[in-house]
Amino acid sequence: MLFPTVLALQPPLTTFGNQLIDAQGVPVHLHCIAWSGAHEKSYLTYGIENQPLPDLVSKIANAGFNCVRFQFSAELVRLNPIIDPKLLGPNPQLVNKTGLEIYDAIVQELSSKQIMTILDYHQMDAVVCCSPLDENGAWFNDRYSFDQVRDLMQAMVSRHKSNPWVIGIDLRNEIRPMIDFATIFGLSVPNPLTAFLPVWGLGGKWDWARAAEQLGNAALDINPDLLIIVQGFYQIQLKEVWTWFRHNNGDSCRKPRIPQVIKKSFIDRYPVTLNVKNRLVYSCHTYEFFHDFDYFNLTYEDWKKEADLYWGDVAKMNIPFFLGEFGVDHNPTAVHSDFFQYVVRYIEETKINWAYWSFEGTYSPAPGGFCSAVNPLGYPEDRTKENGYGFLSLDYNNTASQDLLYELKRIMFK
Ligand SMILES: *[C@@H]1O[C@H](CO)[C@@H](O)[C@H](O)[C@H]1NC(C)=O
Ligand SMILES: *[C@@H]1O[C@H](CO)[C@@H](O)[C@H](O)[C@H]1NC(C)=O
Ligand SMILES: *[C@@H]1O[C@H](CO)[C@@H](O)[C@H](O)[C@H]1NC(C)=O
């Protein structure tokens, strides 16, 4: 007689101290991968124009990921257009379906292979992220009021309510300071009157912690079983400004890097409190380019001290933590760089939950940086460029990097 060596995962998940547990009380470690695209202007997840959906999902399952952090925008939910059939070649079963119907079909396919989905409310407008001028750094803008943002989120949660494999919602991606520019005497200058600087628990319309609480409770009103993922935000760090200042070399396009943080001091001051117990997960993202250039010329111990300060101390609190994005170029040099090795080692030591950015072999590059960010809502989408951070190769047939796969396998804890 054969006995299963591990119990099959049984969603939904709840929090238990700093762990996640399934419906049978078995601890679950999230090792996810982002699968993006539905949040952009074609309203379609990348890869659907390249390979049959079941093949793509098999690649996720075979690599060992147990969940997908799955991007969408408010605009997708609001407009929900029929997707251009030219993008559906390998998936004729999806022709004439709307953006949300295709999103649903992908979630269904993932669920059929017992891969969990985290709905990721990435942004409001369907744009290529993240221009400093794109008005998608907050959780509301001129086009989407807070009430609309909440209602569209509830609509999305409703669609997936009956599927226990949809385990959570990431309330908003990478809240960041926004600066609008005013034209004065023909010059474009920062307009302090329309600036947006997120704060934690201090009240007022810039208070992300309280907005997250309201959004989280609104999601739980529809589906009380969801995990509610609350990210920190980008915050200027004086130490990094100083590093930038010393090494700037007069390059006016090189602004100081701004890391995303969720500090223990935030939570001590204002812990997010939801109406349903054991649903809250805190989250933050990290990339090498969130920090100033030689900042990572550091030993692991030094790096860890900074990571702890920015988000790692929260991971040591009695609440689960989700490193919701980290990634690296898939060339072997980058995979073996200090930065990436340090992140992997940190996850090995702390066993935090994580999601790698990202699965798709192609993406639409944004003309990045302040100096080229002139037409925020009008970037042309070009879905054919190689995604340097892609887990899959450009043609979607193979894993882009065996080295990367090897590193990620090290941190897929049972
Ligand atoms: C898609 O819709 C169009 C217009 O209604 C119809 O002519 C076409 O046959 C449909 N295609 C499929 C594959 O259902
Ligand atoms: C980084 O560290 C190496 C080895 O200690 C040193 O040679 C190099 O100058 C440092 N780079 C910068 C930009 O500080
Ligand atoms: C990649 O996969 C596609 C779809 O499955 C297939 O048609 C194509 O021949 C493959 N390309 C290579 C180089 O294997």
Residue 96: nearest ligand to its CA?
1
Closest C-alpha among 289, 288, 293, 393 to residue 47 = 393
Residue 297: nearest ligand to its CA?
2
Say which DSSP state 265 is in. H
Where is average pLDDT lowest: 179-183, 209-213, 220-224, 258-262?
179-183
Cβ–ligand 3 contact at 50 (below 6 Å): no
Cβ–ligand 1 contact at 275 (below 6 Å): no
Closest C-alpha among 342, 414, 357 to residue 390 = 357
* CA 387–ligand 1 middle distance (angstroms): 32
Q: How far apart are CA 80 and CA 118, in angstroms?
A: 20
Are 223 and 159 in contact, with CB atoms under 8 Å apart?
no
* CA 91–ligand 3 middle distance (angstroms): 14
Say which DSSP state 32 is in. E
Residues 6+ apart with CB under 8 A from 23: 10, 11, 12, 13
**What are the pLDDT digits (tens) for 124-140?**
999 888 776 778 999 99
Cβ–ligand 1 contact at 82 (below 6 Å): no
* CA 228–ligand 3 middle distance (angstroms): 39
> What is the arithmetic mean of pLDDT over 207-222?
98
Residue 4 has pLDDT above 70, yes or no: no
**What are the pLDDT digits (tens) for 246-287?**
877 666 666 778 899 999 999 999 999 999 999 999 999 999
Give nearest CA residue, ligand 1 atom 5: 96
Closest C-alpha among 390, 354, 359 to residue 60 = 359
Atom of ligand 1 nearest to the CA of 95: 13
* H/E run at residue 269: helix 264-269
Q: How far apart are CA 72 and CA 75, in angstroms?
A: 8
Q: How far apart are CA 92 and CA 373, in angstroms?
A: 37
Q: Where are the extended beta strands (E) located within 225-286? A: 227-231, 233-234, 260-261, 280-286
**What are the pLDDT digits (tens) for 12-33?**
999 999 999 999 999 999 999 9
Closest C-alpha among 56, 74, 170 to residue 110 = 56
Give nearest CA residue, ligand 2 atom 3: 297
Q: How far apart are CA 173 and CA 22, in angstroms?
A: 25
Give nearest CA residue, ligand 1 atom 4: 96
| Cα→Cα distances 359→36, 57, 407, Å | 8, 10, 15
Cβ–ligand 2 contact at 302 (below 6 Å): no
What 3-state class would DSSP assign to 103?
helix
| Residue-level pLDDT at 181 | 62
Q: How far apart are CA 326 and CA 179, in angstroms?
A: 25
| Residue-level pLDDT at 239 | 86
Residue 185 has pLDDT above 80, yes or no: no
Q: Which of 244, 247, 293, 294 to mutate to test the pocket of ligand 2 (most atoms within 8 A of CB)?
A: 294
Are 48 and 101 in contact, with CB atoms under 8 Å apart?
no
Closest C-alpha among 243, 237, 283 to residue 258 = 237
Closest C-alpha among 223, 227, 210 to residue 278 = 227
Are 360 and 36 in contact, with CB atoms under 8 Å apart?
yes
Say which DSSP state 196 is in. E
